[in-house]
Amino acid sequence: MPQDARPLSPGEFDVVVVGAGITGAGVARDAALRGLRVCLVDQHDLGAGTTWGSSGMIHGGLRYIEYDWETTRVSCLDGGYIKRIAPHLLFPVVFLLPIYPDDPFGIEKKETALEVYDRFQPYKAGRPHVRLTAEEALRLEPGLRPGLTGAVSMDEWGVDAARLVALNAIGAREAGAQVRTYTEVTGVVRDGGAVRGVRVRNRLSGAAETIPARVVCNAAGPWAPRLAEMAGATLKLRPAKGVHLIYDRRITNCAIGAEAIDGRDLLLVPHANQTILGTTDDDFYGDPEHLDVSEDEVEYILQAFERVFPSIRRYRIAHANAAVRPTLFGWRHYEDDLSREYEVFDHGALDGVPGLISIAGGKMSMFRKMAEDTVDVLLRVLGRPFVPTSTHTEPLPGGESVPDVVEVAGSFGLPLPVAQRLVARHGARAEALLGDADPGERRAVLCECEPVTRAELRHVARTESVERLEDLYRRVRCTGGACLGMRCAWPAARVLGEEKGWSARRVAEEVHDFLDARWLQRPSVVRGATAAQEQLYRGAMYALGEIADPEPAAEGEATATPPPSQPVTAGD
């Protein structure tokens, strides 16, 4: 999926979807599969906003048991659909919920809720809960604070959220949509009172153009009110900031629930090869473009887990992230009590601005259903006959089947750890990727921690709309491991530069920008060994003179000398 560059003709699109998070990418794919001519644009990379800061869960909505069983049923059903269309991408997350004597509900009530939830679990291939005594829970997870009255287990699905967005965008593209990242909406095209497209500017090249469309679908998450305002419509959200702490490995086998000082439920989630702790949920009034993580927020999370998992501070935090949820507006509620429901707004009916549809609220777990409902409205607004969705049965790219990892490793001479991660990311397309690759690059591990080979990196650089070095973290987790990019940022930038035809200076600037962006994720968590790593990281990059002070230079002028390309072969 290379970046689209072909010129647009007037009236080319039925709908331009603004925002390529999980909601927008899902809408684009659904609309394209139903025969609409679609253009998907985002001011950043795919899934770089709210989705990037999500907990990475496709859950069935246990908390809705208290409010509405039908919501739980629909959530579980949709979780099942997502598992069916992307079986390679989802992995089980098993929760261990310890119950202590001061728990406001107690083990009997919690188990009752899980017994109800068990009825819905089969929809998503979930398994029934298990009740454990205090001794059994401590034998399963010796890190729990003693003194519990018991525990219950249940499971949900975890997912690489950024990859899920990428697969939806690739699927949209394969169904005929155009996908444009780093494309910022600067204005709305009006025809009389109606919205008839958007004016955009490419943030990398600076090029401006108009994308004409019969309808604009505003899926811009926390940026959605701004786009609505551009069109003269009103969209009121109550944005909330959420912070997660990220560890470079699984520090437990089970997800663990904890209660924060204000009574909120937090989770420690072993997620693929990381651990995610969070999340906070605070009203946010600033610019979603500029988020940071405060030491207070880090402390709030650690304090909560210290009560159930006393050794939490012995584990090294790799980095932290923050994102803003586009929660639907509600007054007189605490942030955590706000509805996670979603709503599709037809601004033609609401504000007298025809041609603008907004989708807001919801959760990543509901993205497929949110997209389906949005496209149903789009069809109606466009005056098209109703066509049912197929996103619940049509596999996402690579989701057609899950190849046997041992066979893939054997067929292509890959070490098993490399084959396992490749299959987890590319599913049924892993073998084609390897078959098309230069044999010398199939086994050349470029990102040690993940691991990612040169062949995989080259494939995504060519086909998955990668425009910047940092995009590689979202596509294949390159630079996301223990080294935080120290070892792989340079060689990855060089591979990307080879594919994009970048100058040596541009490669250096990419690494420079990447380092700066990484640093912004870390000040609140840098301590101990991480502080030492930061010194090492900076020293390795700067002291070696590989990053020149990026003075303005003519394109093509090689003012920095990248290190020689030294692929590390996977093994003998």
Partner 1 sequence: MPIDRRRAVSMVRLAGAYARHVVRHAASRRAGGQDGLVAFAELYARDRITALTPQDREELPAHGQCVACGMCTFAAPRAGYLRADRLPAQLTRTLPDLWTSRDLPYDDVDWASGAAVCPTGVPLPQMRDFVRRRLERDGVVPTAPQVPPAVLPLPRPYGQ
Work out which of 204, 532, 544, 558 binds partner 1, going by CB under 8 A: 532
What's the rounded Cα separation, in Å, for the pair 454 and 8? 34
Among the listed ranges 36-44, 115-123, 164-172, 349-357, the one in contact with partner 1 (CB under 8 A) is 115-123
- Candidates 136, 282, 306, 400: give the one binding partner 1 (CB under 8 A): 136
Using only C-alpha atoms, the chain has a radius of gyration, in whole angstroms, of: 24
* Cβ 452 to partner 1 shortest distance, Å: 11
Which of 131, 199, 201, 264 forms a contact with partner 1 (CB under 8 A)? 131
Measured from the CB of residue 310, what is the shortest distance to partner 1 in angstroms? Answer: 11
Query: Cβ(85)–Cβ(297) under 8 Å?
Result: no
Map the footprint of partner 1 across residues 167-196, applying CB under 8 A. Answer: none
Number of neighbours of residue 473 by Cβ within 10 angstroms: 25
CB neighbourhood size of 108 (10 A): 10
Strand partners, 480: none
Interaction between residue 251 and partner 1 (CB under 8 A): yes
Per CB under 8 A, 125 contacts partner 1: yes
How far apart are alpha carbons 245 and 301 in whole angstroms?
Answer: 8
Judge whether 332 and 207 are in contact, CB under 8 Å.
no
Tell me the CB-side half-sphere exposure of residue 395, using CA atoms within 13 A.
Answer: 15
Q: How many CA atoms lie within 13 A of 229 on its CB side?
A: 8
C-alpha angle with apex 169: 477 to 232, nearest 5 degrees?
115
Alpha carbon distance 257, 268 (integer Å): 6
Distance CA 367, CA 65 (A): 20
Q: Does 113 bind partner 1 (CB under 8 A)?
A: yes
Secondary structure class of 186 (helix, strand, coil):
strand
Among 12, 184, 259, 376, binds partner 1 (CB under 8 A): 376
Smallest gap from residue 272 Cβ to partner 1 (A): 7
Query: Does 123 sit near partner 1 (CB under 8 A)?
Result: yes
Q: Is 483 in the site for partner 1 (CB under 8 A)?
A: yes
Q: Segment contacting partner 1 (CB under 8 A): 169-177, 232-240, 384-392, 511-519?
A: 384-392
Q: 192 in the Ramachandran plot: left (φ > 0), alpha (ψ -120 to 50) or beta?
A: left
Residue 350 as a binder of partner 1 (CB under 8 A): the answer is no
Identify the residue among 481, 491, 497, 562 touching partner 1 (CB under 8 A): 481
- 514 belongs to the binding site for partner 1 (CB under 8 A): no
CA–CA dist 431, 419 (Å, integer): 10
Show the binding pattern over residues 261-300: x = contacts partner 1 (CB under 8 A), - = does not: ---------x-xxx--------------------------
The nearer residue to partner 1, 11 or 563, going by C-beta atoms, is 563
Kind of pairing, strands 208-218 and 13-18? parallel
| Binding segment (CB under 8 A) for partner 1, from list 313-321, 502-510, 511-519, 557-565 | 313-321
At its nearest, how many Å lie between partner 1 and the CB of residue 77? Answer: 6
Contact between 454 and partner 1 per CB under 8 A: no
- Enumerate residues 143-172 that contact partner 1 by CB under 8 A: 143, 153, 155
Q: Are 448 and 413 in contact (CB under 8 A)?
A: no
Q: Between 48 and 449, whose beta carbon lies closer to partner 1?
A: 449
Residue 501 and residue 480 in contact, taking contact as beta carbons nearer than 8 Å: no
Choice from 29, 34, 44, 83 touching partner 1 (CB under 8 A) = 83
**Residue 224 Cα distances to 42, 47, 463, 564, angstroms:** 12, 15, 28, 45
Q: Out of 194, 350, 482, 526, point to the residue binding partner 1 (CB under 8 A).
A: 482
Measured CA to CA, the distance from residue 306 to residue 294 in angstroms comes to: 19
| Residue numbers 91-110 binding partner 1 by CB under 8 A | 91-92, 94, 108-109
Q: How far is CA 476 from the centre of its chain?
A: 12
Prior bond of 23 cis (ω within 30°): no
* Shortest Å distance, C-beta 82 to partner 1: 9
Residues 314-333 that bind partner 1 (CB under 8 A): 314-316
**Omega of the bond leading into 559 within 30 degrees of 0 (cis):** no
344 phi, psi to nearest 5 deg = -100, 125
Choose, by CB under 8 A, the member of 45, 373, 456, 470 that binds partner 1: 373
Give the dihedral of Cα atoms 265, 270, 271, 273; nearest 10 deg.
Answer: 150
Applying CB under 8 A, among 190, 199, 226, 250 the residue interacting with partner 1 is 250
**Binding residues with partner 1: total (CB under 8 A):** 97
Q: Hey, which residues between 49 and 68 contact partner 1 (CB under 8 A)? A: 65-68
Candidate residues 402, 517, 526, 548; the one interacting with partner 1 per rule CB under 8 A: 402
Interface positions, 413-452, toward partner 1 (CB under 8 A) = 415-417, 419-420, 448-451
372 binds partner 1 (CB under 8 A): yes
